[in-house]
Structure 1
Amino acid sequence: MFTGLIETIGTVLEYTTLDTSSSGGNGVSLTIGNCSEILTDVHLGDSISTNGVCLTVTEFDEGKTFFKVGIAPETLRRTNLGDLKTGDGVNLERAVTSDVRLGGHVVQGHVDTIATIVGRVPDGNAITFTFKLRDVEFISYIVHKGFIAIDGTSLTITNVDYDKAEFSIMLISYSQEKVILSRKSIGDSVNIEVDLTGKLIEKQIEVNLNNQIKNNDSVLNKLIEKLVEKKVNELLSKK
């Protein structure tokens, strides 16, 4: 679990499409450096959010100046990590510990989809970014003044257009220096993780409704029966 408060920006040192080393697992791997400040307590198997994606550390050097992670095919399909190249900056955050203040919001590091930047407008010393979702169904989990994780950064929604599957956030001056979003332009992509709360509520309602529909004696079915009976009586009374 993460907070969405980026600790540092690392640099992609190497992106390997077929890493045959023991730490590469015969798949895609990513080596990230310039991040020694978050590697002081690193261990193999630790989770580090990389542009919002929870990835497992498979290797690090003795001096703890870089670390390597593997990227699964599903992760490549869901995220924009496959577009990374040597020299790119990435947002990094270690998994939370019990003594960390939750200054952002609960972020799983499980990216739902990607979005494209369709607007970038200065507003005083802040920047308003507007994004369009690739998978439009996720717009239903995005609400005005709600949380969202963009490339792993916890941000607040300032506007939502449900018809266009677009939403906006405002990046303040302080954050512009701490996260990679300020380096991106219109047309660039970002990783999106919607707030888990909305998905949990939706699933609870769906399961509850299905259970009530299957139960003939449920409150919902009894209510439907009463409404149908009332409507039928109204129609009969008009004859």
Structure 2
Amino acid sequence: MFTGIVEKIGTVSALVKLDETETGGGGTSLTISDAAEILTDVHLGDSIAVNGTCLTVTEFTSDSFKVGVAPETLRRTNLGELTTGSPVNLERAVAGDIRFGGHFVQGHVDTVATILAKTPDGNALTVRFQPRDPEVLVYIVEKGYITLDGASLTITAVNDEEKWFEVMLVAYTQEKIIIPRKEVGQTVNLEVDMAGKYVEKQVKAQLEKGLAGMGLEKLVENIVKRTLKDMKIGV
């Protein structure tokens, strides 16, 4: 589990494509450098989110670490577009003693999204995206959470007909994540807020069982309670 608060921007220092006989089954091995700040407590097998993708540490030094990227992960994310020298957002898995500044992020990418436009607004930057899989737009709502390349961001606009959404990056955030460095036409990894998925599942379950005379207000109340219980949040 992650928070979507990027801890460090690292650099891809080595990228090796693996053949079918090597561990990774034809995937890719990535070495990420410039990561000393997040490796002070690292162990083999730990999870680190690289551009919002939960990956397992297989080797590490004081400044760098290595992860394997499976073929399925390459198909679902933008990690296959990385080259030597590419910057990447990094975040360690959540520890039990930290403040939770973002939102619940799994590090399981739903799809990639293409940058359609970047528009300055004072010292802020509005960025418009179009998801490769438009079906994820059902989980994307104005003022809701979204994770882009591992960064927890707030959605400022959604257009379901034209199939795009926007986020605004304040000056501080622009310095801490890699999205402002990307050009129009490049992609980001997208993970929707999992709360929306839980709500959808509960609604479908209730509808399949039939309302059985239950009022809409009571139905919504039950769905919310079950969703929070699934996410292990007390009510």
Query: TM-score higher than 0.5 here?
Result: yes
- Maintained 8 Å contact 2:113/2:131: yes
1:67 to 40, 65, 68: 65
- Write out per-residue CA displacement over residues 10-54 of structure 1, whole angstroms, 9 at most, x where no aligned residue: 000111111799876764211101101100100011000000000
SS at match of 2:173: helix
CA drift of 1:165 comes to 1.4
Moved over 4 A (4+): 19-26
- Maintained 8 Å contact 1:23/1:59: no
2:87 to 69, 86, 89: 89
The alignment-based identity, stated in percent, is 58
- Write out per-residue CA displacement over residues 98-148 of structure 1, whole angstroms, 9 at most, x where no aligned residue: 111111111100000000000100000010000011000000100000000
- Which residue number in structure 2 is paired with residue 122 of structure 1? 120
State which structure, 1 or 2, has the greater radius of gyration over its C-alpha atoms.
1
- Measured in 2, the distance between the counterparts of 1:106 and 1:71 equals 23
1:39 aligns with 2:32: no
- Which residue number in structure 1 is paired with residue 212 of structure 2? 219
* Matched ranges for 1:107-186 at <5 A: 107-186=105-184
Structure 2 portions without partners, runs of 5+: 215-235
With the length of structure 1 as denominator, give the TM-score of the two structures.
Answer: 0.85
- Maintained 8 Å contact 2:6/2:90: yes
CA drift of 1:150 comes to 0.4
1:102 to 87, 97, 100: 100
Structure 1 portions without partners, runs of 5+: 213-217, 222-239
With the length of structure 2 as denominator, give the TM-score of the two structures.
Answer: 0.87
SS at match of 2:44: coil
The residue identity in structure 2 corresponding to 1:55 is L
1:17 aligns with 2:10: no
The residue identity in structure 2 corresponding to 1:129 is V
- Which residue number in structure 1 is paired with residue 227 of structure 2? none
Count, aligned residues? 214
- Maintained 8 Å contact 1:149/1:194: yes
